[in-house]
Structure formats: C-alpha cells, structure tokens
Amino acid sequence: MNVPASQTHSQLPRVLGPVAALSTIVGSVIGSGIFIVPARVARELEHFGLIALAWVVGGLFSLAGALTLSELAAMFPRAGGPYVYLREAYGRVPAFLFGWTEFLVVRSGSMATLAAAFALYASQLDVLRPPTGWNPAVWLSGLACLAMVVVAAVNVVGTRWGGALQVLGTVLKVGALLAMIGLAFTSGQAELSRVTEGMWPEGKQAWWLNPTMFRHFMVAMVGILWAYDGWVNTANLAEEIREPSRNLPRALILGTLVLIGLYLGTTLAYHLVLPTEAMAGASTEKGSSQAVSAVYMREVLGSPGVAIIAGIVMISTFISLNGNVLSGPRAYFALARDGLFPRGLAAIHPRYLTPARAIVAQTAWAITLTIAGTLPMVFRAAEGATGVLGGWRRLGETPLYDILYTYVIFGATLFYALAIGSVFVLRRKRPELERPYRTFGYPVMPMVFLVGAGILLGSMLVQQPVESLAGLGIVAAGLPVYGRLVRPGRRVGDA
C-alpha cells in the first residue's frame, strides 16, 4: 500500500455520528458473554438476589468508569483513547506498554476469540458444517480467519461502512435480546417463585462478612466484568466522532445504562424459566447446544430455539468482532503518529481516509494467533507426553489466544485503572485544560472504579497468581521493545 508522506501524519476525518458511537459500545460489549456467563454466576451464587446484585455491581462499576472516561474523552478527542490519557498523565513508557499489550494480546486475542466463537456457531448451520473428510479444527480456523478478513476489509474501505455495520448489527442483537426477554413472559414458562424463594442467604451474619460467600461473589464478578468489557472502545474513535465533547459522554453513559438493563433483563428471564440447578448445570463452552441460552430457548420454543440462538450468537459475535476492528487499530495509529510505534502504522489511506495499515496489522496478528492455536489441535502430541510435547498437547486442548488472553487480563485491568486514575493526575497537573464535560460525582465515581479495580486485582492475584504474574511479564516484555523503537531524547511527535 503506497501512501504519500503527507498522508502519514494527518488527522482522521469526523464521519461517525452519535448513533454509531452508541452502537460501538453496546455492539462491542454484547458478544457471547450474556449467553454463557449466567451459568458461571449461578454456579457461584445460588440465590437470585445475589446474582442480580452481582450484575448490578458489575454494571455500576462499568458506569463509574464510563462517567470518568467521559471527562477524559471530551478533553482529548483524539484517536487512541486510553493511550492518550496515559501519555498525558504518566508519560510515554506506560502509554507505550498499554499499546504494546493491546496489540500483542488484548485486542488481537479478543479478535481471535470472537472470531472462533463466530465460527463455532456458524458451523452449526447446515450450509457451513465442515465438509466430509475435513478436520473440524481446520474448518473452524478457516471460518474464523475469513470473518476477520471480511470485517477488516469493510473497515479499510471506510469508517462509515464499519460504523454502519456496527449500527445494523447492534439493532439486530439488541432486538434479539429484547425478544428473548419477552419470550419468558409470553411462553407461559415463567414462574416467579424461581426468583423469589430463597432470594437471599439466610442467617444472622451478612453475606459479605462470610469469607466463603464473598469469595464466590468475587469469582462471579470476574465473569460478569468480562461480559461488560468493551465499554472503553468508543474512546478510541474520539477523533472520528462528530461533536465529540457532546456525543462521547452521552454514548459512554447511555451505552453503559443500556447494557445494565439488557443484562439484568436477560438474566431475570433465564431464572424465571429455568431452575437454578439447570442454570448452574448448563455448559459454559462456546458453541455448546447445552449453553444456558440454548437451554432457555429450547424450553420456550422447543428444538427450533437451539438453531435460533445459534444464529443470534453468531450475529452477536460477528458484530463484536467488527467493533474491535473498528476501534482497536486507532490506538496503534495514534502511537505510530506520536513516534512510539513503527511510523508506517500512522498511514491514512489516500482514498478511504482510514488507518488501513493499523487495521491490517491487527488483523494479520490475530490471524497468526488463530493459526498458531490451531496447529496443536491438528498435529496432536501423544497421550501422556511430557516436557515440550506435553506443553504442545495442552495447547491442543486450549487455544493459544485464549491462554494469552487469560494471562493478560490482570495487566489490562491495571491499565484501565491507571487510565481512570489519570483524571486525578490531570486535574492537578493540567488544571488549565478545557473540560467540556466534568465527571458526575467527582471524586466519588473514579474512586468507586479504582476501589473496585483494586479488589478485583487482589482477587486475581490470590486466585490466579500464575496467570496474573505471567500477564505482568507480558507487559514488562514491552520495555526492551520500547528501548529499541524509541530513540533516547526523542520527543513525542518528532519525525
């Protein structure tokens, strides 16, 4: 792709309106989580009162972050979102490490995971089942890679096209969730007693003072926050949203409120129709016909419900994939424009006016992770293998991108906390900056997010020490890369 030098450091055009901004949040966040996570939550929390509370707490935690991010996004309406806030508050090194982690694992791993989920559900349709004689892992990998290529092509051709696809897909998936909620009340299968009986734990001691119950609540919260993950995506597109000082805060706040309502409504519908034991016993494997959403749809619509939910989740994951391709590359584009990533990634396509190279780079790396994750499934090591072959066999059981994504959750959560914390740093460090929107409930809201993030990080360290420390190792591995990419004494933005 030959791009004139004059096009490599320009500003991206503002082509996205408020509906596209809102759809980037709602459409990116609703992936496969709400279709499988409620089963994990039911396993940890057997009382519906606690289950509903966990979803509300997760939503309020995300809302506190969104309220805070709104101030930062309106103050710095530039491509890159959290990267920009980290750079302005803490300097280049933390900002680079965020971009490094996003590109290496978080965003690319998320792309690969969503594409794999799309392929699993798509392959349940007769027309897309693996042909006779094909290895299913190879077929699914091919479908996943094809999905990534398609959404990348759409977003290279135009941000408007990517935004339009996001709006259409978000309308479809929100409509599908509302229809699922409505089925609980129109099918005649709902029983109020399933949520009212034993709604709260019995006993004189408050549940949060019970160490065992609190631990289960925190385990449930990890899954719930994964289902809410992605509300930060719109901030990456700040440079391309019209009237960002007004549309960004509205999209962040309204989008998070919509998510809370949809997640609570869907969870309530599941529990009205299915006994808690059935909820807890449902599969949490993507693509499973025994996932909680499939069990629910089978109960209210019979066997056709399973095919319907497969189609719904297929659309949902595809649109979430598009949201990741629409928003993620803007961070690498911004890093490259500031001289912290290879300068070629700052190129704007001369015809389509999109950060085409950044989009292609993220997609290519996600496809590489997908292929690398497929090889151990195709060329399996022998049963009982040890050492390197034993590790190869384990990779055949859990895809590489899923392993890496699990490892980096700790580091990603830490970066989001630092980004939210930058509102305190910048109010002290840069009080003269214009703030079109000021965080509602400041300083309580950002503190709520930071306290919640601290509890979550502490819980991860205790319950998943290896994964958490490995995630920090992936982040730290960016330091020598930074030393090679950025020359000493170079200022941000220097050519």
The answer regarding whether domain 14-485 maps to CATH 1.20.1740.10 reads yes
Give me the amino acid identity at 211: P
Given this model, what pLDDT does residue 427 score? Answer: 95
Given this model, what pLDDT does residue 198 score? Answer: 82
Q: How far is CA 135 from CA 168, 316, 369, 375, in A?
A: 34, 26, 19, 11
Q: How far is CA 276 from CA 38, 51, 107, 214, 440, in A?
A: 10, 11, 34, 19, 38
Give me the amino acid identity at 264: L
Give me the amino acid identity at 483: G
Three-state SS at 208: helix
- Would you call 259 exposed, middle or buried from its count of C-beta atoms within 10 A (0-12, 13-18, 19+)? buried
Residue partners of 23: CB distance under 8 A and separation at least 6:
163, 166, 167, 169, 170, 171
Q: How far apart are CA 135 and CA 69, in angstroms?
A: 45
Three-state SS at 144: helix
Residue partners of 483: CB distance under 8 A and separation at least 6:
none
Which element (helix H / strand E) includes 185? helix 159-186
Tokens standing for 108? 């690319």
Given this model, what pLDDT does residue 287 score? Answer: 64
Q: Tell me, what DSSP letter sits at residue 491?
A: P
CB atoms within 10 A of CB 399: 23
HSE (side-chain half, CA atoms, 13 Å) at 329: 31
Q: What are the DSSP E strand ranges found in 337-392?
A: none
Cα Rg, the chain, nearest whole Å: 22
- Angle, helix 478-485 to helix 465-476, in steps of 10 degrees: 10
Residue partners of 96: CB distance under 8 A and separation at least 6:
335, 340, 478, 482, 485, 486
Indicate the pTM of the whole model.
Answer: 0.87
Residues of the chain with pLDDT under 70: 1-9, 204, 286-287, 391, 394-396, 398-408, 487-495
Helix locations, 289-355, DSSP H: 292-301, 304-327, 329-337
Which element (helix H / strand E) includes 414? helix 400-429
Phi, psi of 198 (to 5 degrees): 65, 35
Q: How far apart are CA 183 and CA 456, in angstroms?
A: 35
Provide the β-strand partners of residue 16. 241
Provide the β-strand partners of residue 241. 16
Cis, bond preceding 94 (omega within 30 deg of 0)? no
Given this model, what pLDDT does residue 403 score? Answer: 65
Q: How far is CA 384 from CA 376, 380, 387, 389, 396, in A?
A: 15, 11, 10, 9, 13
Q: How far apart are CA 492 and CA 495, in angstroms?
A: 9
Q: How far apart are CA 39 and CA 284, in angstroms?
A: 7
Q: How far apart are CA 262 and CA 228, in angstroms?
A: 11
Q: How far apart are CA 34 and CA 349, in angstroms?
A: 37
Q: Tell me, what DSSP letter sits at residue 240?
A: G
Q: How far apart are CA 425 and CA 408, in angstroms?
A: 25
